[in-house]
Structure 1
Amino acid sequence: MSISDDDRPIRKVAHEIGSDLSLLSVDELASRIALLQEEIARLEAEKIRKGASRSAAEKLFR
């Protein structure tokens, strides 16, 4: 028996860009800020990794 997409638990979105922040507590805001800072660091690291790959490829084909 396989699990269909309908049977999987729905993942709660931790933060949606542009969402209403007025009902969040200070602790919830701090938690979301930390989450977004971690995501920014992850994105920056991937950008650097891809930039290095691209740079190496450009040097190879010059």
Structure 2
Amino acid sequence: MIEEESPHSRRNSFTPAVLDMWGVAELQRYIAALQAEIARAEAAITAREKHRNAADSFFRRP
């Protein structure tokens, strides 16, 4: 039986690249890609916080 990977099991799936043989241009592209991924993760956090705050405001009693 094949077990499917749950979305939660990927939380710690980041494996740093081996940078020893990379040139400067390759390293710069790698950094740009990582920065883009960080920005994407930060946007996801912001969206979740907005959603949570809206829910908290809606359900808060006066």
Name the % identity: 40
Superposed displacement of residue 46, structure 1: 1.0
Q: Counterpart in 2 of 1:46?
A: 44
Structure 1 spans left out of the alignment, 5+ residues: 1-15
- The aligned length equals 47
Over the aligned positions, Cα root-mean-square deviation in angstroms equals: 1.3
The runs of at least 4 consecutive aligned structure 1 residues that moved more than 6 Å come to none
Give CA-to-partner distance per residue, 1:10-62, whole Å, 9 cap, x none.
Answer: xxxxxx63232101111110000000001111111111011000000011111
1:31 partner letter: R
Which TM-score applies when normalising by structure 1?
0.68
TM-score (norm 2): 0.68
Unpaired runs of at least 5, structure 2? 1-13
Which whole-Å CA distance do the structure 2 matches of 1:17 and 1:33 have between them? 15
